Structure 1
């Protein structure tokens, strides 16, 4: 059952190390250029941004990871309370379970009940055209995310391995719903080619969800009796920093950078590479097991470290941060150069 699987996912993410082993996000190869003369007042730095008409106090999305089991209700309530207080966006895990089993609706509706003004993001799979409007209604969602998870499906014992006509399904959903649509990967990244194909369907947002954070191959490895495939593909994917560049340079729609982002410094690097916002999932869920205050403390530390990073590059707003000078080094530079991207353009943009 879907509900049982969701509970297993929660338990595994709480009790096991499900992050990438040997592949990192690539942000360790990104060096923001320090300004000894920032010429701004740190106290006047503005972290806010606007997404589809809603103002967020920082460019942080709590991205989808929970829902579909009674145990998730408490987690989603705490995440919603924190998101509402800190005025950031909140994504919820796949709503397929609630569409198919109305008894699970409250594990999702609890979000809007506790976050009446928050930017809420619903979630369905690409083939689930018939679920789209129902998912939006259940959550009272401002945005609908369509998740892409071919790696997870490949490792999952009960995975759906038919990925034919995904683009057509996405386009049909875009045309059928009345809210903006976001495409989000689930931890293995999006290439420039796929990003352009996605944009052509009419979607409004892409969350790259690159490699280096949570590995869903790892999560499914803990569920599987045969560990071979999960361990073999544990580190599969496009590193988040690479995917952020590939997507942002190839589309004209907003981009969220997620996948292993753990601090405001990571976020500053992602935004300077071209992202409009960033997402964090696993650490938020882990803090939610402890309580609302722990989530809020994490958000406060994130915002403070982002503010300091912006001060040190002389950026008083998120838009100014997008033009901060940086150097791309190491494997990330090698990867991007081999893919035909000019990494030098970031070094002297001002």
Structure 2
């Protein structure tokens, strides 16, 4: 049953090491250029951003985590409360379970009940055209995310391995729902070419969810009796820094950079690479037992982002997007091979 699988995913992510082993996000190759004369008052730095008409106090998104099992209800409630208190965006896990089993709807609807003004992001799979409007209704969502997870499906014992028609389905979903549609990967990143296809299909927002954070091949490995394939593809994907730069260079829709981002400094690097917002999931899941811990984590994130902005002389997120940076190492090699001129970032 889907609900049981959701509980397994939740417990594995909370209790096991599910992050990439050898592949990193690539942010260690990104260096923001220090400004010894920032001409900025750190206390007046503005972290706010607007997303489809909603003003947020920070570019931080709590990206899709959970739902679809009674055990997830309390976690979603906690996340909703802190998202509302801090005026940041919140996404939920795949809503298929609730759409097909009405008794599970409250594991998602609890979010809007506790976050009446929050920017909320629903979640369905690419082939689930028939669930789109129901998912929006259950959550009273502001944005509907369509998750793309071919690697997870490949490793998952009960995975759906027929990906034909996904792009057409995404295009139809963008036509039938009354809210903007986001496309999101689940830990393997999005290339420039795929981003263009998604935007051509009507997608208004892209969450790249690159490699370097949670590996869903790893999660499914723990569920599988045969660990060979999961171990082999554990580190598959486009590093988050690379995917962020690729997508930002290819399309003009707003971009969320996520996948292994763990603090405000890495977030600053992602925004300077072209992201509009940044997302995190696993750190919030690990801390979801305590509202105090969640609030403190958000505070540390915002403060470290503000310090990074101070050190480059950026008053706003838009100014941070124009900050100079140097790209080296494997990230530079990858971007060079993909035809992206990294000198453009250092000579802004």
TM-score (norm 1): 0.99
The alignment status of 1:73 with 2:67, answered yes or no, reads no
In the alignment, the residues of structure 2 paired with residue 230 and residue 37 of structure 1 have an alpha-carbon distance, to the nearest angstrom, of 49
Aligned to 1:302, what secondary structure does the other structure show? helix
The alignment status of 1:178 with 2:178, answered yes or no, reads yes
Matches within 5 A, 1:229-244: 229-244=229-244
Matches within 5 A, 1:214-293: 214-288=214-288, 290-293=289-292
The alignment status of 1:121 with 2:103, answered yes or no, reads no
Match of 2:17 in 1: 17
The C-alpha deviation readout for 1:194-218, integer Å capped at 9, x for no partner, is 0000010111000000000000000
In the alignment, the residues of structure 2 paired with residue 252 and residue 325 of structure 1 have an alpha-carbon distance, to the nearest angstrom, of 20
In the alignment, the residues of structure 2 paired with residue 161 and residue 259 of structure 1 have an alpha-carbon distance, to the nearest angstrom, of 23
Matches within 5 A, 1:52-91: 52-91=52-91
In the alignment, the residues of structure 1 paired with residue 292 and residue 68 of structure 2 have an alpha-carbon distance, to the nearest angstrom, of 24
Match of 2:210 in 1: 210
Match of 1:322 in 2: 321
- 4+ long deviations beyond 4 Å: none
Aligned to 1:260, what secondary structure does the other structure show? coil
Aligned to 2:251, what secondary structure does the other structure show? coil
The CA RMSD over aligned residues, in Å, is: 0.4
In the alignment, the residues of structure 2 paired with residue 229 and residue 71 of structure 1 have an alpha-carbon distance, to the nearest angstrom, of 29
Aligned to 1:83, what secondary structure does the other structure show? helix
Aligned to 1:249, what secondary structure does the other structure show? helix
For residue 252 of structure 1, report the CA deviation from its aligned partner.
1.2
In the alignment, the residues of structure 2 paired with residue 101 and residue 320 of structure 1 have an alpha-carbon distance, to the nearest angstrom, of 46
In the alignment, the residues of structure 1 paired with residue 43 and residue 85 of structure 2 have an alpha-carbon distance, to the nearest angstrom, of 21
The alignment status of 1:104 with 2:80, answered yes or no, reads no
In the alignment, the residues of structure 2 paired with residue 345 and residue 77 of structure 1 have an alpha-carbon distance, to the nearest angstrom, of 43
The alignment status of 1:134 with 2:134, answered yes or no, reads yes
In the alignment, the residues of structure 2 paired with residue 16 and residue 202 of structure 1 have an alpha-carbon distance, to the nearest angstrom, of 37
Matches within 5 A, 1:135-214: 135-214=135-214
In the alignment, the residues of structure 2 paired with residue 135 and residue 213 of structure 1 have an alpha-carbon distance, to the nearest angstrom, of 27
In the alignment, the residues of structure 1 paired with residue 291 and residue 139 of structure 2 have an alpha-carbon distance, to the nearest angstrom, of 21
Aligned to 1:341, what secondary structure does the other structure show? coil
In the alignment, the residues of structure 2 paired with residue 4 and residue 328 of structure 1 have an alpha-carbon distance, to the nearest angstrom, of 43
Aligned to 1:298, what secondary structure does the other structure show? helix
Match of 2:331 in 1: 332
Aligned to 2:257, what secondary structure does the other structure show? strand
In the alignment, the residues of structure 1 paired with residue 249 and residue 334 of structure 2 have an alpha-carbon distance, to the nearest angstrom, of 15
For residue 102 of structure 1, report the CA deviation from its aligned partner.
0.4
The C-alpha deviation readout for 1:146-185, integer Å capped at 9, x for no partner, is 0000000000000000100111000000000000000000
In the alignment, the residues of structure 2 paired with residue 180 and residue 194 of structure 1 have an alpha-carbon distance, to the nearest angstrom, of 18
For residue 220 of structure 1, report the CA deviation from its aligned partner.
0.2
Between the two proteins, the alignment pairs up a number of residues equal to: 348
In the alignment, the residues of structure 2 paired with residue 329 and residue 146 of structure 1 have an alpha-carbon distance, to the nearest angstrom, of 33
The C-alpha deviation readout for 1:309-329, integer Å capped at 9, x for no partner, is 000000000000000000000
For residue 292 of structure 1, report the CA deviation from its aligned partner.
1.2
Aligned to 1:73, what secondary structure does the other structure show? helix
The alignment status of 1:308 with 2:294, answered yes or no, reads no
For residue 348 of structure 1, report the CA deviation from its aligned partner.
1.5
Match of 2:31 in 1: 31
The C-alpha deviation readout for 1:262-292, integer Å capped at 9, x for no partner, is 000010000000000000000011110x211
